[in-house]
Each structure stands twice: as C-alpha cells, then as structure tokens.
Amino acid sequence: MRLDKYLADLQLGTRSQLKTDIRKGRVTINGTPVTQPDYRLDENRDTVTYAGTVLTYRKYRYYMLHKPAGVVTATKDNFDKTVLDLFPAALKTDLFPVGRLDKDTEGLLLLTNDGELAHCLLAPKKHVQKTYYVECSGTISQEGIERLSRGVDIGDDTPTRPAALLLLSQTQDRYCLEITITEGRFHQIKRMIAAVDGTVTYLKRLSMGSLVLDETLAKGQYRELTTQEEAALFTPLKFSTE
C-alpha cells in the first residue's frame, strides 16, 4: 500500500496534507525516515510512526450514520447531496452505504469499506431483520394489519415474507407502527402499507441485524461502531439462512 493512502485511511488528514508531512520527514517506517508519499509498505508487518506516534492499521472501517431526510443513499449524485457528503474527505475514502434508504427516509445507515460484511447483511437468503418506525395515514383495518404480518402482494412475483408488527398508537386516520421485515425490496414498507389502503407519511429505520440506531446521534451525525457492535455484526446467528 502507498504510504500516503495508509495514513489517509487512518483519517490523519487529507492526502495533500499528509504528502506534505511525509516530505517533511514526520514519518518513519521500521525506525527509518521515509519522505516519499508513494513509498510501498506492508501494512500488516511494517511499523509506521507518524509525528512520534506508532500507528495501528485497520483494514476495515464501520460507521453508523443517522441519515436525515433529503439526502440520497449513494456514493455520488449529480443533483442531490449524498450520505458520503456528510463525511469529511479524509474519512470517506473507500466507504459505501450498506443497502439504501429512500431520500425521504431517516434513520440507521451503516457505511463501511468491507464488501464481505455488506454482502452478508444484504443477501436475500440471510433474512437479516430490519426494524422501522412508520407513521401512516388512511383507514388500515385490523384485517389489514394481520395481512401485513402474514405477507402481502405488493406487485412482485411473490408476496412479502411475514413481518412483525407492533401498533404503537392509532387515531381515526393516523397510525404509528413498528414493522420488522427480513427483506429489502424496492420501497417495500411504503408498498406494504399501500397494499392495505394506507399511505406512509414518515419512515425511520431503527435497526439492521444486531445494529441499533444510537438515538444520541443527531440527524446527519455519525460515529464509528464500538468493538461490541462490530463483533455482534459478525455473529453467525445474525446471518441465519433458515
């Protein structure tokens, strides 16, 4: 790996800033000063010191984002602000969102550079649970709620898989629900609610697999996952194919 990329991956500054520091002799590898930004090192064996601090390289990075409405889940977009635009340039190198939330949907979004984990979380056969808080209008009957829990026709080749529903509150024409699904079809929650004569007015993802949204994060804020959160994501039981 190039030395400047190694330092940038550790979020120590922008590539241009780090190249300047390297040329000034602020970096040593195995005790020897290195002043070439394109120097190739072995990130798993070499000992790198930057400004007097010995560095530990992490190949994969994991971030929890509280996605706000109005931002698209993409790495780049010609018209709209993306979730990666919420990260500083030095931090977002190689990151991508795991799955997608609609532009008007808020809540938990995982961003990483770990393609294998992303595949495990998104593979249909894994049936990873995703829980949403849903506000909707309309006249959803008790029979409609039961249909949602059993699976409904949303216009695809097969009905949705059974969902877990919790009715939080209900007025004459407004419902607040928690819905847990094990699929990730296009606009799935909105289409499920529409299938029982309702309209989603607000949607927020609360959890994905073992990962639960940190409600202390304001909309648009992010943080690295804790060691415990990372470990739980890799637990085989979370990726059951049953």
Q: Is the pLDDT of residue 237 over 50?
A: no
Q: What are phi and psi of 118, to 5 degrees?
A: -60, -40
How far apart are the C-alpha atoms of 116 and 84, rounded to whole Å? Answer: 20
User: What are 82-90's contacts with CB under 8 Å, separation 24+?
Assistant: 83/109, 83/111, 84/111, 86/220, 86/222, 87/63, 87/111, 87/222, 89/14, 90/8, 90/11, 90/12, 90/13, 90/14, 90/15
Q: Is the pLDDT of residue 88 over 90?
A: no
Cα 31 to Cα 41, 46, 70, 123, distances in angstroms = 13, 10, 49, 45
Q: Is the pLDDT of residue 236 over 70?
A: no
Q: For the segment 156-210, what is each residue's pLDDT rounded down to a tens digit? A: 999 999 999 999 998 888 999 999 999 999 999 999 999 999 999 999 999 999 9
Mean pLDDT, the chain, rounded, equals 92
Q: What per-residue confidence (pLDDT) applies to 199? A: 97
**pTM of the prediction?**
0.82
Q: What per-residue confidence (pLDDT) applies to 15? A: 87
Residues with catalytic roles: 102
Q: What per-residue confidence (pLDDT) applies to 238? A: 45
Ranking 10-14, 45-49, 126-130, 220-224 by mean pLDDT, the lowest is 10-14
Q: Is the pLDDT of residue 4 over 80?
A: yes
How far apart are the C-alpha atoms of 171 and 207, rounded to whole Å? Answer: 26
How far apart are the C-alpha atoms of 200 and 137, rounded to whole Å? Answer: 7
Q: Which residues contact 235 (CB under 8 A, 6 or more apart)?
A: 210
Q: Considering the chain, what percentage of its residues have pLDDT values greater than 70? A: 97
Q: Is the pLDDT of residue 241 over 90?
A: no
Domains of the chain: 3-54 (3.10.290.10), 62-123+215-239 (3.30.70.580), 129-208 (3.30.70.1560)
Q: What per-residue confidence (pLDDT) applies to 13? A: 85
Mean pLDDT calculated for residue range 116-136: 92
Q: Is the pLDDT of residue 49 over 80?
A: yes
Q: What per-residue confidence (pLDDT) applies to 93? A: 75
